[in-house]
Amino acid sequence: MTVKERYRRVIDWFSEAMPVAETEIRYSNPYELLVAVILSAQCTDKRINLVTPALFEAFPTPESLAASSQEEIFEYIKSVSYPNNKARSLLGMARKLVEDFNGQVPSDIESLTSLPGVGRKTANVILAVVFDNAAMAVDTHVFRVSERIGLTTGSKTPLQTERTLMRHLPEEIVPLAHHWLILHGRYVCKARRPLCLDCGLKPVCRYYNKSESSKPENAHGSAD
């Protein structure tokens, strides 16, 4: 199977099986999504959705967050991973957002990644979700699923995965494909125990077909 054919079949399957795919983080404006995505690093969306309502009630705007302290923020996010670091990042992000961007979340990757706590992955989430840009955020799910299916081959870094996906995916579906891969990795193509038998991508999945071909009965004929 060629790379082009694999991409076409994967896109066709997701388009039919998951025509609507969205972030599971709850937010009501770009500022809230930015805060939530910073908090979500190495933490589940479920946990973030439990934490953010009280946080957003206390700090509904970048200006209110910028006027707070790291200690105050910590009290609202202490149940997430690395709360001290994230409280510091949120405070720095809010202050820079107010000072340099008039409290508005910027729409380009250079400005976004200039904010404390915002790396390329977080910036791409904002670009894809808020601004519907052709930006591919590569988290652990996207990195794993892309390699397993065979959309990438031997990628060593998230940036390599991002570039490969961007090279082969039609620009107009990139924001949607980002969610396809995340949700598929979260609920089907799990890290430790992928649910291969429940997956509709078996016919085109490199991981599944390699696993099947390596089984003794397939290598030496039927066991019966």
Q: Annotated active-site positions, please? A: 121, 139
Distance (Å, whole) CA 181 – CA 105: 25
Within the chain, residue ranges assigned H as helices are 3-17, 30-39, 45-58, 62-66, 70-77, 83-101, 109-112, 120-129, 140-149, 158-168, 174-187, 206-213, 216-219
Inter-residue contact 137 to 178 (CB < 8 Å)? yes
For 127-154, give the DSSP string: HHHTT--S-----HHHHHHHHHHTSSSS
